[in-house]
Amino acid sequence: MPSISQKAVKMPESPIRKLVPYAEKAKSKGTTVYHLNIGQPDIETPAVALEAIRNIDRKVIEYSHSAGFQSYRDRLSSYYKNVGIDVEPEDILVTTGGSEALTFGFMTTCNPDDEVIIPEPFYANYNGFAVAAGLNVVPVTASIDNGFALPPIEEIEKKITPKTKAIVICNPGNPTGYLYSQEELEKLRDIVLQHNLFLFADEVYREFCYDGAKPFSVMNLSGIENNVIMIDSVSKRYSMCGARIGAIISKNKEVMESALKFGQARLSPPTVDQIASEAALDTPQSYFDDVVAEYVERRNIMVEGLNDIPGVFCPKPSGAFYCVAKFPVDSTEKFCQWLLEEFEYEGATVMMAPASGFYSSEGEGLQEARIAYVLNQDALKASVKCLEEALKVYPGRL
């Protein structure tokens, strides 16, 4: 039998989804499973987006321009300007989700075997995008003890080699919810300039910042306009994960012209989803105000509840809708599987994502789990209670 490719062998399994068979088996036995493993919000999609889909008046669902509909890019430019990010329509390439945006970015800027430095823990699929582009991820480990702040800049500089091509961040962060400050980003700017690197910033959670915190976009870092590439998506902003519309944004004209070649090779981003995404730009501010207020309540229930459990530590995130908690267990890989296979409390159990899958360094995050607080408040309270009771009887508790 012919052998499969080395890329296929190296492509990592998703830590977010790999426990799904155990969850399905638990459900088949009648157990309620609280899904804290995946960032699929239960927040309703804005009505304007749904109405746009219902009212499509076209005889043909045709290709769009490979860069996305001009009308959508024009309106996206206005959206960014309204949030203080000065970009023109030609600085924007619409993609099939933020995933394609980052993959295009990697393939446009990097050669096979180049290196990208990423603070870990990081969104697990960055590993997959790097493998697809033939790149090597070089991690710099952040600590749960200080809430996963940017690692010391000296530690990042130590990782730079002649093969280093880019630094990648997510701000606010998935999986940690950490929000990088302007000061931290300016430190990154300085080493990007010094070593002539690209700086990728995944800013898909921009709208979700809490306690008065304000996001600072890498697009506003002075002096590195041609080094910066921003990744964006409608998935979380408008609770439209299934729409699969994202964007790669840069003022570097060579990058954008080259990324368009990859866009042409896949023809175009989805037409119907672009229609919905363009309509979503009319979402009123009150929608975001309500959503942010709801996430603050959910965060507080989850983080305060976890920290009230003996032996559990969870830093309080300032953005997104994730947190990473450290549990007093031998292994969260084992603990998360045990929760689904052998435990229930009042007919329910909890599904989390073991955090080791969000680290690239072997041996990191073994007692940590990522939690997405995307369920309603009652479900989150019940989830915390489940975890509290589970830790009382888990055989691998430390």
* DSSP helix/strand/coil, 71: helix
Query: Would you say 264 and 108 are in contact if contact means Cβ atoms under 8 Å apart?
Result: no
Query: Are 75 and 201 part of one and the same domain?
Result: yes
> Residue 31: its pLDDT value, please?
97
Residue 107 lies in a domain: yes
The answer on pLDDT for 148 being more than 80 is yes
User: Rounded mean pLDDT of 304-314?
Assistant: 98
Say what percent of the chain tops pLDDT 70: 100
Per residue in 163-199, pLDDT (tens digit) is: 999 999 999 999 999 999 999 999 999 999 999 999 9
Query: Are 188 and 310 part of one and the same domain?
Result: no
The answer on pLDDT for 263 being more than 80 is yes
Query: Are 26 and 96 part of one and the same domain?
Result: no
> Residue 18: its pLDDT value, please?
80
> Residue 40: its pLDDT value, please?
87
> Residue 239: its pLDDT value, please?
96
Residue 237 lies in a domain: yes
Average pLDDT, the chain: 96
Distances, alpha carbon 153 to alpha carbons 45, 189, 358, in Å? 39, 11, 21
> Residue 314: its pLDDT value, please?
98
Query: Are 311 and 261 part of one and the same domain?
Result: no
The answer on pLDDT for 16 being more than 80 is no
User: Rounded mean pLDDT of 306-332?
Assistant: 98
Element (H, E) at 324: strand 322-326
User: Rounded mean pLDDT of 368-377?
Assistant: 96
The answer on pLDDT for 250 being more than 80 is yes
Residue 1 lies in a domain: no
Burial class (CB in 10 A: 0-12, 13-18, 19+), 364: middle
Q: Which residues contact 314 (CB under 8 A, 6 or more apart)?
A: 302, 303, 306, 307, 323, 324, 325, 326, 371
User: Rounded mean pLDDT of 35-61?
Assistant: 95
Domain boundary among 280, 308, 330: 280
Q: Tell me the pLDDT band of 99, cut-offs 50, 70 and 90.
A: very high
Residue 51 lies in a domain: no
> Residue 282: its pLDDT value, please?
98
User: Rounded mean pLDDT of 142-165?
Assistant: 97
> Residue 262: its pLDDT value, please?
98
Query: Are 121 and 257 part of one and the same domain?
Result: yes
User: Rounded mean pLDDT of 80-98?
Assistant: 98
User: Rounded mean pLDDT of 277-302?
Assistant: 97
User: Rounded mean pLDDT of 338-363?
Assistant: 96
The answer on pLDDT for 17 being more than 80 is no
Residue 185 lies in a domain: yes
Residue 328 lies in a domain: yes
Beta bridge partners of residue 116, listed in sequence order: 137, 166
Q: Which two tokens stand for residue 319?
A: 């953005």
Query: Are 126 and 28 part of one and the same domain?
Result: no
* DSSP helix/strand/coil, 12: coil
Query: Are 264 and 293 part of one and the same domain?
Result: no
Domain boundary among 264, 280, 296: 280
Burial class (CB in 10 A: 0-12, 13-18, 19+), 222: exposed
Query: Are 270 and 340 part of one and the same domain?
Result: no
> Residue 108: its pLDDT value, please?
98
User: Rounded mean pLDDT of 341-346?
Assistant: 96
User: Rounded mean pLDDT of 125-153?
Assistant: 96
Range of the domain at 111: 58-280
Any idea what the CATH number is for the domain that residue 12 is in? 3.90.1150.10
The answer on pLDDT for 361 being more than 80 is yes
Query: Are 274 and 299 part of one and the same domain?
Result: no
Query: Are 259 and 361 part of one and the same domain?
Result: no
The answer on pLDDT for 15 being more than 80 is no
Domain count, the chain: 2
Domain boundary among 280, 299, 324: 280
